Chains A and B, each alone.
Chain A
Amino acid sequence: MPSPAGITEVLNPADLARLNGLELLASRVVDGLLSGKHRSQLKGGSAEFTEHRGYVPGDEVRLIDWKVFGKSDRYVIKQYIEQTCLQVIVVVDASGSMAFGLGTESKFHYARSLAACLTRLVLRQSDSAGLAVLENGACNYVPPRANPNHFQAILQRLLDGKPSGETSLAAHLTELARRIKRRGLIVLLSDCFDDLPALKQAMQFLRAKGHEIILLQTMAPEELTFDFGGWSRFDCLEVDGTHLNLDPGLVRKDYLENVRIFLADLKRICGETGCDYQALPTNQPMGDALAYYLQRRGSRLKQT
């Protein structure tokens, strides 16, 4: 069970407070039988009334709407959409690149806080939350549960995460897709410094399986400005021993162009695969950024 210090390390109460009243909604109907915030494709049960239809022998008598019989002297039954439990898997990229942070907290810490907030939110709205931490080529998986006490396990896993090594997002997402039986919501917290075509393929695979994907991309402000001066040695955080000695000023233009192209490609892939994309640079207050996103998402979903 994580210590109180550990909890506050990961979960800022101010950020949590910021998320009060917000909910993480799935845009698609979900599977599941438990009562939650999300619609199930399965009709019947004590779910929300949708329509009447004529009684046919074999229907349950309890479903007969007697008010309508009293008015119309016809036997009709009520049909309902049942509200089931949303399964949310938060995938946190703990590759070496996520360890970067100069002027702000590291991307991993940022993503970790995001993950904590999101899972807390999901559990609070009686949905089930799970976690996958992709670390050093391995996937540390916490199966989704709707039990509020499950948050401890998720927190512990987040605390144990140490970003290092290389991790293939695409491979892990594909693996996750095979593991998860129920359709649900995959929230990917990563800088996505990965092979984009492979990532696209993985995302398409997940979408084909009926999952919804939210990509919350974190990047450090230094990675977006590359405002370094003087001859420097850049040590790779993912591969030990890899470094580059260069004058940042001389490569800055090309570097920024590369980043620009990468982000554009990523957004295009998200658009093509129907994934929801949100950029969360680490210099933005996490709570505000997440709250803003959830509000916007909720508004958008309610309109459809």
Chain B
Amino acid sequence: MSFLNAAFLAGLPLVAIPLLIHLLSRRQQKRIAWGAMRFLKEAAARRRRLWRLTDLLLLLLRTAAFLLFIGALARPLLSASWLGDSVPREIVVVIDQSMSMSRKVGGTSLFDLQREKAHALLGNLKSRESVRILLAGDSPEWLTPEAVQVTPAAVRKLNEQLDKLQPTLGASDLLACVRDAADLEASKEISSRLIVIFSDRQRAGWQMDERPLWNAIQARMKRGAVPCTVSIEFLTETEPDTDNLCVNRIESPRPFASINQALNLTAQVQNHGSHSSGATLLTWQAAGQPLGITTIPELAPGASTSLSISHQFSAPGLFDITCRIEARDALPADNEAHLLVEVYKQLPVLLVEESNTAGPLEKDSAFVLAALGARKTDGVKTDWRSVFEATVIEPGALAATDLRRYRCVILANVRRVEAIDKLEAYVRAGGGLWIALGANTDTAFFNEQIYRGGLGLSPLKLTAPIGDPNDRERFFAIRTSLEPHPATALLSDFQRLDLDRARVYRRHQFDNLSGKDVSAFLQVQQGDPVVIERNLERGRVLVQSIPLGVSWSSLPLCQAYVAMLHEWLWYLAEPALPKRNLAVGESILSSRGAGETAELTLPDQRTVQLEPAIVSGTAEWRYAGTRLPGEYQLQIVGKVSTQFSVLRNISESDLANFSTQDLEQLHSTDGFRIGLDALAVTGKALPPRYPIEGWLLTALALVLLGELLLAGWTTNRRNLRLAPVSMSA
């Protein structure tokens, strides 16, 4: 028994008070020398038993009253086992929905075997037990929000829910499931918790090598509200087949493309099995149309290879690029990978340039436009070969321009910009800003308004320019930064591009000490940055210390210029473009000018209603519950549906089973039971404890009532009005 207010037990000695009073009253008895003893003896003999019993009963009642009162104040908790109660448990059944559970053993998938065992377990639960079901994935998700008391109807409903489940493409973080289950609040009725996990023996998902994590999990289990035991029941007696050739992912420089622009697609294929894989084929498709076939060579266990294909999209739209390994192995689900590529016809770009710059060839915009492939037709209309369609305005018109129409804004050698706040808001909302400095640049204005102590659009401030644009003999050579960056990957290919031949005669200088950890795209050979990057909330800013024209450098004359322009415009435009290929847990975000409720279909065909939020005048639909890899379809009312893809966790393709050391580690982990019938695991169960002060107070009331009645009867009897005996009667 335990007590909530044990301090009151210090009053237990008071229980002796009635006994002391009883004894003291005996000691203080009067002594009477009596003659008529014979009459007294007869009377006493007749009543002795009664008054001794009454006396003893009163003493017991008074002692019990003190005891019950002190006991009630101490608020004892009585173990249910004392009351003959059984020890009710809470069973948490972890259903592994990971991709590896789709493997078949003897014609039946491991997931179906798991489902059968879950059904059997639910059928064997006792009525006083409660059950929860936890779906294991990249992050755990509760199928039952609350614990379900085991009743036939409840079990039937749970079985129906289990029957609807299927394995997914996701991984399973089983240790996270143990953590979440152990952290559950416990109701007063349950005394222990049993976490049942049906394992396909796959090592992945258990993070066996992360000892600190295991120690932390054990500590959480010990700290839990009730004692926790984990029962790992293997689905098969033997280890399943682990040979698995897998397409880890499809990569491309960017998941965007323009019409008729070749996009290089690379599939990473890996042999996750324990045996060498034979050569096989990899078929490519785009939106269901075949793109080509590449050959996968023999791969040693653990080895990987990259297979590429190039494709030009002839129409704008969203294309699902898939590649599939044409081979049978233990896990067919990871033989296919997807990549969504969004193809644009045009992406508007705003070019801000002062019109007082002399000569069309001296205008930076001319070189930009040329690089973007602008050419006039009919003397009026402009055709664009690049996906980026530039509109040129003067700095004064910037304030009145709706920047939301443009994916990127280029400030080409602009002295001052009055709409700095507008530009900053534009960048923060996801827009891209390219500030190309030049002869017109007002250093003081730049430092004050654009650098703004490091809080503005530029991560570094300017110092005095260096070099003489007229001295073509002295120049700076430039290179990409030594830190790899996706925006400069193409430019680094000096065999195909000639960035190393670009000459910079004059450049603005950045004060390297005015900012920390600044990313540089281009540097002079000595290491000073030429082009620096700033990420400002959702958008990106590039600050280039040389103009986009030829006034200070020969960069526009290089082949690399066009590639640079395109790569960096894509890079700057990317934040504002919808991100279609997401990692597990990454939010789906879709924006439109206006919109209503949208319906999102998840990979397991469940649907979720999404309400738009208005951000900067634009409707946004956001969904953060992307725990399942696969295809997500977003249907906005009145609009065409749009698609997102959540990529697989490649660690799930590693089908390696528990090693002997792993099994030893599991066996020796406190609170873990391996390979036993789950319900036979008793664990360290604490029977529930019930507060009984209510009962004690009731008993006290009855005792006091009894004492009152008995004492009253005794007093009444003692004080009977009896007539004295008359000798003469």
Q: Which A residues are closer than 8 A to B by beta carbons? A: 96-100, 102, 107, 191, 193, 217, 219-221, 223-225, 227-239, 242, 244-247, 249-260, 262-263, 279-281
Q: Select the stretch in B8-16, B326-334, B716-724 that faces chain A.
A: B716-724
Contacts A224-B725, A232-B29 given; indicate if A254 touches B42 (C-beta within 8 A). Answer: yes
B32 touches A232 (CB 8 A): yes
Using an 8 Å CB-CB cutoff, how does the interface string of B30-50 with A read, 1 for contact, 0 for none?
Answer: 111111111111111011101
A230 touches B33 (CB 8 A): no
Of the residues A107, A219, A235, A251, contact of B33 by C-beta under 8 Å: A235
B724 touches A250 (CB 8 A): no
A217 touches B727 (CB 8 A): yes
A103 to B452 Cα, complex, angstroms: 116
Of the residues B29, B42, B718, B722, contact of A245 by C-beta under 8 Å: B29
| In the assembled complex, B25 has its CB within 8 A of some CB on chain A | yes
A244 touches B35 (CB 8 A): no
A256 to B37 Cα, complex, angstroms: 12
Of the residues A242, A259, A280, contact of B37 by C-beta under 8 Å: A242
A242 to B36 Cα, complex, angstroms: 12
A191 to B727 Cα, complex, angstroms: 11
Chain A residues, CB < 8 A from B31: 232-233, 235
Chain A residues, CB < 8 A from B516: none
Chain A residues, CB < 8 A from B728: 279
B33 touches A100 (CB 8 A): yes
A221 to B714 Cα, complex, angstroms: 25
Of the residues B37, B41, B718, B720, contact of A247 by C-beta under 8 Å: B718
B43 touches A237 (CB 8 A): no
| In the assembled complex, B26 has its CB within 8 A of some CB on chain A | yes
Contacts A244-B44, A251-B47 given; indicate if A224 touches B39 (C-beta within 8 A). Answer: no
A98 to B729 Cα, complex, angstroms: 22
- Contacts A224-B727, A263-B729, A279-B728 aside, 4 further interface pairs with beta carbons under 8 A come to A97-B36, A244-B40, A251-B46, A251-B47
A224 touches B724 (CB 8 A): yes
CB distance from A118 to the nearest CB of B (A): 19
Of the residues B41, B46, B50, B720, contact of A244 by C-beta under 8 Å: B41
Chain A residues, CB < 8 A from B695: none
Chain A residues, CB < 8 A from B720: 249, 252-253
| In the assembled complex, B494 has its CB within 8 A of some CB on chain A | no
| In the assembled complex, B51 has its CB within 8 A of some CB on chain A | yes
A237 to B33 Cα, complex, angstroms: 6
| In the assembled complex, B726 has its CB within 8 A of some CB on chain A | yes
Contacts A254-B47, A259-B39 given; indicate if A236 touches B727 (C-beta within 8 A). Answer: no
Q: Which of B29, B32, B34, B728 has the most CB of A within 10 A?
A: B34
Chain B residues, CB < 8 A from A245: 26, 29
A279 touches B35 (CB 8 A): no
Chain A residues, CB < 8 A from B41: 244
A279 to B724 Cα, complex, angstroms: 15
Of the residues A250, A254, A259, contact of B36 by C-beta under 8 Å: A259
A229 to B25 Cα, complex, angstroms: 13
Chain B residues, CB < 8 A from A246: 40, 44, 48, 51
Residue of B nearest to A254 (CB): B43
A239 to B717 Cα, complex, angstroms: 30
A244 to B33 Cα, complex, angstroms: 10
Closest 6 CB pairs of A and B: A249-B718, A279-B727, A97-B35, A100-B35, A254-B43, A225-B724
Chain A residues, CB < 8 A from B725: 224-225, 256, 259-260, 263
Using an 8 Å CB-CB cutoff, how does the interface string of B563-582 with A read, 1 for contact, 0 for none?
Answer: 00000000000000000000
Of the residues A224, A229, A237, A249, contact of B34 by C-beta under 8 Å: A237
Contacts A224-B726, A246-B51 given; indicate if A191 touches B35 (C-beta within 8 A). Answer: yes
Chain A residues, CB < 8 A from B26: 231, 245
A234 touches B40 (CB 8 A): yes
Contacts A96-B35, A97-B36, A236-B37 given; indicate if A263 touches B46 (C-beta within 8 A). Answer: no
A238 touches B35 (CB 8 A): yes
A247 touches B51 (CB 8 A): yes
Chain B residues, CB < 8 A from A244: 37, 40-41, 44
Residue of B nearest to A99 (CB): B35
Residue of B nearest to A251 (CB): B43
Chain B residues, CB < 8 A from A281: 727
A239 to B40 Cα, complex, angstroms: 14
Chain A residues, CB < 8 A from B36: 97, 100, 191, 193, 219, 223, 259
Chain B residues, CB < 8 A from A249: 717-720
Of the residues B25, B35, B719, contact of A193 by C-beta under 8 Å: B35
A234 touches B37 (CB 8 A): yes
B30 touches A230 (CB 8 A): yes
Chain B residues, CB < 8 A from A250: 47, 50-51, 54, 714, 717-718
Using an 8 Å CB-CB cutoff, how does the interface string of B253-279 with A read, 1 for contact, 0 for none?
Answer: 000000000000000000000000000
Residue of B nearest to A252 (CB): B722
CB within 8 Å of A: which B340-369 residues: none
Using an 8 Å CB-CB cutoff, how does the interface string of B45-67 with A read, 1 for contact, 0 for none?
Answer: 01110110011000000000000
A97 to B719 Cα, complex, angstroms: 27
Chain B residues, CB < 8 A from A259: 36, 39, 725
Using an 8 Å CB-CB cutoff, how does the interface string of B699-729 with A read, 1 for contact, 0 for none?
Answer: 0000000000000001001111010111111
Contacts A224-B724, A254-B43, A255-B40 given; indicate if A100 touches B34 (C-beta within 8 A). Answer: yes
A57 to B35 Cα, complex, angstroms: 67
Contacts A191-B35, A231-B26, A279-B727 given; indicate if A256 touches B722 (C-beta within 8 A). Answer: yes
CB distance from B724 to the nearest CB of A (A): 4
Contacts A247-B51, A254-B46, A258-B39 given; indicate if A233 touches B32 (C-beta within 8 A). Answer: yes
A102 to B719 Cα, complex, angstroms: 21
A185 to B487 Cα, complex, angstroms: 152
Chain B residues, CB < 8 A from A227: 724
Chain A residues, CB < 8 A from B726: 224
Chain B residues, CB < 8 A from A107: 35
Chain A residues, CB < 8 A from B39: 255, 258-259, 262
A262 to B36 Cα, complex, angstroms: 11
Chain B residues, CB < 8 A from A263: 725, 727, 729
CB distance from A286 to the nearest CB of B (A): 15
Chain B residues, CB < 8 A from A235: 31-34
A224 to B36 Cα, complex, angstroms: 10
Using an 8 Å CB-CB cutoff, how does the interface string of B197-234 with A read, 1 for contact, 0 for none?
Answer: 00000000000000000000000000000000000000
Q: Which of A96, A221, A233 has the most CB of B within 10 A?
A: A233
Residue of B nearest to A259 (CB): B725
Chain B residues, CB < 8 A from A280: 727
Could you show 27 A-B contacts with beta carbons less than 8 Å apart?
A: A97-B36, A100-B34, A107-B35, A193-B36, A219-B36, A220-B35, A224-B727, A228-B30, A228-B32, A229-B718, A231-B25, A235-B32, A237-B35, A238-B35, A244-B41, A246-B48, A246-B51, A249-B717, A250-B51, A252-B720, A253-B720, A254-B46, A256-B722, A258-B39, A258-B42, A259-B725, A260-B729
